[in-house]
Structure formats: C-alpha cells, structure tokens
Amino acid sequence: RNFSLGSFDCFTIAKKVLDIQLNIEKGIINQVKLSGSLAINDRAELLEQQLIGCPHEISEITNRLSTIGLTEETLEELLKGLF
C-alpha cells in the first residue's frame, strides 16, 4: 500500500461492542444490564433474566445461556465480557 499524499486504500473496520453492567453479591449475579452491537440486542432482556440469580462462574453461566440459541461465537464473546 502506498500511503503517500494522493494515493491510499480505504477500508472499514467493524468492531463488536458489548457493554455489561453486573452487580454481584456473595458470588451471585443479582443485577444485569447488557447493551451493545454484539448479536444479542433482540435477546438482551432474556439474557439478563437468565443471568440474575446465577452464580458468577463460567460453567454455571454457560449452562444457563446454552439453552437460548446463541451462536458459539456470540456465547464466547459474552463470556469474555462477563469475566
């Protein structure tokens, strides 16, 4: 690529963004707010409901979220954000 004046390539970088707000007491998630551009927007409320009352442990959260039809990639990104 030649980035000198007058000659350059144009490109776009799309980044998935996830904003997670958790309130955890004694290892239990008691409040959750999810938002962002990760492919959960249509299921954010359902995800929040699944997480409330769940122990903040990867295995417990994975078990709860695996039942609601997330893609493997979306589940992995969500878990990264939660831990």
For residue range 14-53, list pLDDT tens digits in order.
556 778 889 999 999 999 988 876 667 678 889 999 999 9
Q: How many CA atoms are closer than 13 Å to the CA of 17, on its beta-carbon side? A: 7
Kindly report whether the global pTM for this prediction surpasses the value 0.85: no
Considering the chain, what is the average pLDDT of its residues? 80
Q: Which structure tokens are listed for 26?
A: 């004694």
Report the percentage of the chain scoring pLDDT > 70. Answer: 76
Handedness of CA 59, 61, 62, 64 (dihedral sign): positive
Predicted confidence band of residue 82 (pLDDT cuts 50, 70, 90) = confident
